[in-house]
Chains A and B, each alone.
Chain A
Amino acid sequence: MTYLALGLSLGFVGLAAIVSRYQELGLEKDLAIGVIRAFIQLTIVGYILSYVFAAQNSLYIFLMIMLMIIVAGRNASKRGKGISQAQRIVLMGIAFSEGISLLLLLGLRIIPATAQYIIPLSGMIIGNSMVAAGVTLNRLNSEFRLRRGEVELALSLGATSKQAALPVIQSAVKAGMIPTVDSMKTVGLVQLPGMMTGQILAGADPVQAVRYQIMVMFLISGASAITSLIVVLLGYRCFFTSHAQLVLGDS
């Protein structure tokens, strides 16, 4: 794609700006900032990726993945306000699911061990794990508040913290996995996923692109489930003292 073509595509943003102006939404400034940031961030990432791909150095790959995990972890942990150690928990969940996924992908030789494969796939795994972790954490927080009576009732009958938190745990894991499961159900019918679209636009055989996409969907569903589970199993403990007493920040 030429820079001219890219420049012309700005027209679509112009269209959005006109709508904003016409409807007095006041989004023009945010749109402008968004355009500039997207342009700068993606251009920098493009150059970094070209460098990393050319270098084929494992250390660079590792550093890229670490950076992605840290940014994703910081972002998702914002959803866990009031949960002590939310950031540590989310980082562990995302890192673990990324680790397991890469181990399977490389160990079973599903993809070659090159930066071109590892980095984009890691991006998808980490991105989806981030969403799963955020939703899970958010649900964990709200469910404990909503079901406070039920949890304390279970504790009063001699339940352990884990037994008392079970309905909350189930609900939070389920909430974390729903976005992935839903998108698996409608994939190809409602939208062509980004990776597949990208490959097809770049001239790849659609059948080959579909195969990769299916693998990615499976990968993402597993990674989201692992992330949600780790976040919940580490997270629920933050709501209890060591003497099985429920603590909800505000109480």
Chain B
Amino acid sequence: MTKGIKLNVENISLVLREKERNSTLLDNVSLEICHGRVRALLGPSGSGKSTLLYTLNRLREISEGKIFLDNTETRMLNVLELRRRVGLVMQKALFFAGTVSDNILYGPRIQGKELPDPDHYLELVGLSSDFADRDPNTLSGGQQQRVSIARALANNPEVLLLDEPTSALDAQASEHLENVVAKLCRERQLTVVWVTHDLQQARRIAQDVTLLYHGKVLEQGEAADFFRQPSTEEGKAYLEGRLGGVD
């Protein structure tokens, strides 16, 4: 394990046993996610991108292999601590009952910690403090996702996992969110793993990419190299929109 690697995924598999039959969601996946960089997880629907994301903060248990965070196997860490260090923003912005501020402070509150100023986290995602007392369900899609990011940031994570956060947003709101994340990476040295379907978005945000297909890694490396000259036929097919989804 080299220095600069934040998350190291070593030969992980995830097999589910459903009604007498096994289905393999992840098959011998390995990748290294570097500190302070954005890695895009690409692949058609059902390729295992979200499943892989959920294994990184242990919301899903792997069947085989190991995942290391800063050289410590994640299974050796307290799982609640791991989830604070590796924050997650889901595809659909969901909120607990209460105001934007209540939602942002959820993480610190359940730990019984002294509550930080929610305005600080709103500012980090480019929202004014006027939003603090609003009902999050009345906000626009883009604002809701930014509140979701602020809520994850209130745990002071080192890694941020984003599960297609812009899939329901228009182009302008998506770009705004991309800029927010890019700024967080730059200023807070945050490591980001971003699941996306959108190749243009991956081009804009990611320094590294991993292409998954049927739960396997097809190709990975620097984003610039991948987009210029994919090293596999499947990679080329994916960029040309010829690699079909599983479901």
Which residues of A come within 8 Å of B, CB atoms? 149-150, 152-160, 163, 167, 241, 243-246, 251
* A–B pairs, 11, beta carbons within 8 Å: A149-B90, A149-B94, A154-B110, A156-B83, A157-B106, A157-B152, A158-B81, A158-B155, A160-B80, A245-B59, A245-B61
Closest 10 CB pairs of A and B: A156-B88, A158-B84, A157-B107, A158-B83, A158-B80, A243-B79, A149-B94, A163-B110, A159-B110, A153-B94
Q: Please pick, from B61, B88, B152, the residue contacting A241 in the complex, using a CB distance under 8 A.
A: B61
Residues from chain B with Cβ under 8 Å of A155 in the complex = 59, 83
Residues 80-114 of chain B: 1 if any A CB is under 8 Å from the residue's CB, otherwise 0?
11011001101010101100000000110011000
**B96-152 contacts to A (CB < 8 Å):** 96-97, 106-107, 110-111, 151-152
Given contacts A149-B90, A150-B94, A243-B79, is CB(A157)–CB(B110) below 8 Å? yes
Report the Cα distance A153→B83, complex, angstroms: 11
Contact count A vs B, C-beta below 8 Å = 57
Given contacts A150-B96, A156-B57, is CB(A244)–CB(B155) below 8 Å? no
Report the Cα distance A245→B107, complex, angstroms: 17
Instruction: Kindly provide the distance from the CB of A97 to the nearest chain B CB, expressed in whole angstroms.
Output: 30
Additional pairs, 10, CB under 8 Å, beyond known A149-B90, A156-B83, A157-B87: A153-B90, A156-B152, A157-B107, A157-B152, A158-B81, A158-B111, A241-B61, A245-B59, A245-B61, A246-B59
Instruction: Kindly provide the distance from the CB of A241 to the nearest chain B CB, expressed in whole angstroms.
Output: 7
Task: Give the nearest-CB partner of B92 in chain A.
Answer: A149
Q: Please pick, from B16, B61, B97, B155, the residue contacting A157 in the complex, using a CB distance under 8 A.
A: B155
Does B58 sit within 8 A of A, measured CB to CB?
Answer: yes
Residues from chain B with Cβ under 8 Å of A149 in the complex = 90, 92, 94
Task: Give the nearest-CB partner of A153 in chain B.
Answer: B94
Residues from chain B with Cβ under 8 Å of A251 in the complex = 16
Instruction: Indicate if the CB atoms of A156 and B59 lie closer than 8 Å.
Output: yes
**B21-60 contacts to A (CB < 8 Å):** 57-60
Report the Cα distance A158→B107, complex, angstroms: 7
